[in-house]
Copies of this chain bind each other. A is one copy, B any other.
Amino acid sequence: MKYCSDCGNTVELGIPEDDNRPRYICNTCNIIHYQNPKLVVGCIPEWENKILLCRRDIEPKKGKWTLPAGYLENGETVENGAIRETLEETGATVTSLCPYLLFDIAHINQLYLMFHSRLIKPDFHVTPESSELALFDETEIPWDEIAFKVIEKTLKQYFKDRRTGSRRTHESVRLGIYETVRQPSAGRLHQRSGRQAR
C-alpha cells in the first residue's frame, strides 16, 4: 500500500495513538488503513463414499488436484460461500453442509474453513478454474499431486475420521479441530498446533 484509497495521497507506516502495531496512515487525511486476514471457505463434496476433487486450471499450482475453496465474499455467509465456490469450480451443487475443520495459516494471513457436504447428484463438469473433475475413494486420491498442504490435511483428517468411526453423521459433525499451519521457514512445516478439541 502506497496511497490512501480515500484521498489518493501518500500513506506511511506508523503506530497510531492507542494502538501497538504499525498501520498504513494517510499523510494528508490521517485515515488509518487496517489490513486483516482473509477467510477461505470450501467443501469436501461427498458422493457415495467418494470425494470430488478438481484439477486446477489456474495458477498457483495449475495441474494439481484440490478441493473446491475460495475467498469468502462481502455480504455472504460462510455456508453460502462454500456452496458458491463448489459450484464455480466444479459445476456441482452441494447440500447438507456442516463445518468440519478450521485452519490458521497465519504466515499468509489466511484462514480456511472447510465443510462436509454432499453432492445432490453426481453431476459436475470442467469450469474456467478446473480442467478435470473426478470422484475418488481413499485408495485413489492422488496424494502426490494435491495442490496445497491445507487440502492434503483436510483429506487425511476426513479419511482418518471415517476409518476410526469418529466421523459423525452429517447432522452431528462439528467443527472439532483446528490447526495452525506454520510457516515453513519456522522449521515446523504444517505441524499440528497441539490444539485439538476432540
A144 at the binding interface (Cβ < 8 Å): no
A residues near B, CB below 8 A? 1-11, 18, 21, 33-39, 71-79, 97-99, 102, 104, 106-107, 109, 111, 128, 171-176, 178, 180, 193, 195, 197-198
Closest B residue to A9 by beta carbon equals: B8
- A6-B3, A34-B71 given as contacts; is B172 within 8 A of A175 (CB)? no
Verify A178–B36 contact, CB threshold 8 A.
Answer: no
Q: Chain B residues with Cβ under 8 A from A79's Cβ?
A: 104, 195
Copies of this protein in the assembly total 2
Which of B38, B71, B78 touches A104 (beta carbons < 8 Å)?
B78
- 12 pairs, A vs B, C-beta closer than 8 Å: A3-B5, A5-B5, A5-B33, A8-B9, A21-B73, A35-B74, A77-B106, A77-B193, A98-B197, A174-B174, A174-B176, A174-B198
